[in-house]
């Protein structure tokens, strides 16, 4: 199976998992916020995958190897496991919220949530454009260069920033304030992961310590 086929198979699997997590607990297909979110998410991620397949197959191959099993370190396996559970749990909470009618999110606000999701994924897209070594696992490859331009000139971990922004937008897009409760768990997993990753980068990537001193913020510009 080619890398491109693996990537699209993985994408299709993810969309199916999200659809099940949203429609099964909600007990209905009459959930327009979920349909719109899935359309926005699938469109953005498909566009990113097509771009990588055409422009940077090597990066696509790096991204295919993902998840807790792919990680080399036991600690990262644990972090990825926690993040994966929090990711899926967030969508389930949104679906239950829709079924029980706990939240009242105006349609315009929900659509704004979809825009936040698209913005987060756009940041990820530009990260991939800037750095062909954005592996899905914590690792430093031989002869890997230090990237300091583009989104890396703003924060040290722009891909995590984009992913976190997407996950903030998702519950809003799904019409659920309660779904935002999953965000702190995801943010905690991201912070745990990037702090561990920075130790590896400082030890293994030439120039990273100087870059770290120049770009002070890790995740949120002007904050942290």
**30 occurs within a structural domain:** yes
Please write the tens of the pLDDT for every residue from 130-180: 998 887 777 788 888 999 999 999 999 999 999 999 999 999 999 999 999
pLDDT, position 91: 97
The domain in which residue 143 lies consists of 3-214
> For residue 57, what is the domain's CATH number?
1.20.120.1630
pLDDT, position 66: 67
Q: What is the 3-state secondary structure (H, E, C) of the chain?
A: CCHHHHHHHHHHHHHHHHHHHHHHHHCCCCCHHHHHHHHHHHHHHHHHHHHHHHHCHHHHHHHHCCCHHHCCCHHHHHHHHHHHHHHHHHHHHHHHHHHHCCCCCCHHHHHHHHHHHHHHHHHHHHHHHHCCCCCCCCCCCCCCCCCCCHHHHCCCCHHHHHHHHHHHHHHHHCCCCHHHHHHHHHHHHHHHHHHHHHHHHHHHCCCHHHHHHHCCCCCCCCCC
Please write the tens of the pLDDT for every residue from 18-56: 999 999 999 999 999 999 999 999 999 999 999 999 999
**51 occurs within a structural domain:** yes
**220 occurs within a structural domain:** no
pLDDT, position 130: 94
**223 occurs within a structural domain:** no
Please write the tens of the pLDDT for every residue from 62-85: 888 766 676 677 777 888 888 888
| C-beta separation of 92 from 21 below 8 A | yes
Q: Is the pTM of this model over 0.85?
A: yes
**222 occurs within a structural domain:** no
Total tally of structural domains belonging to the chain: 1
| C-beta separation of 154 from 224 below 8 A | no
Which residue, 189, 191, 173, 171, is CA-closest to 181? 171
- Secondary structure percentages of the chain, helix, strand, coil, to 5: 75, 0, 25
pLDDT, position 75: 78
pLDDT, position 198: 92
């Amino acid at each position: 199976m080619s890398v491109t086929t693996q990537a699209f198979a993985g994408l299709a699997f993810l969309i199916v998992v999200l659809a099940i997590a949203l429609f099964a607990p909600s007990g209905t297909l009459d959930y327009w916020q979920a349909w719109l979110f899935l359309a926005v998410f699938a469109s953005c991620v498909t566009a990113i995958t097509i771009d990588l397949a055409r422009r940077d197959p090597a990066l696509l191959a790096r991204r295919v190897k993902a998840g807790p099993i792919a990680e080399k370190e036991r600690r990262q396996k644990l972090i990825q496991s926690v993040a994966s559970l929090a990711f899926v749990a967030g969508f389930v909470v949104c679906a239950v919220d829709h079924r029980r009618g706990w939240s009242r999110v105006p349609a315009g606000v929900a659509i704004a949530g979809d825009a936040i999701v698209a913005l987060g994924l756009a940041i990820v897209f530009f990260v991939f454009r800037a750095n062909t070594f954005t592996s899905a696992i914590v690792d430093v490859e031989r002869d890997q260069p230090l990237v300091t331009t583009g989104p890396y000139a703003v924060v040290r971990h722009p891909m995590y920033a984009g992913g976190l922004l997407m996950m903030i937008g998702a519950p809003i897009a799904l019409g659920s304030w309660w779904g935002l409760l999953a965000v702190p768990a995801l943010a905690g997993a991201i912070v745990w992961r990037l702090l561990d990753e920075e130790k590896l980068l400082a030890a293994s990537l030439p120039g990273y310590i100087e870059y770290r001193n120049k770009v002070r913020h890790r995740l949120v510009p002007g904050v942290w």
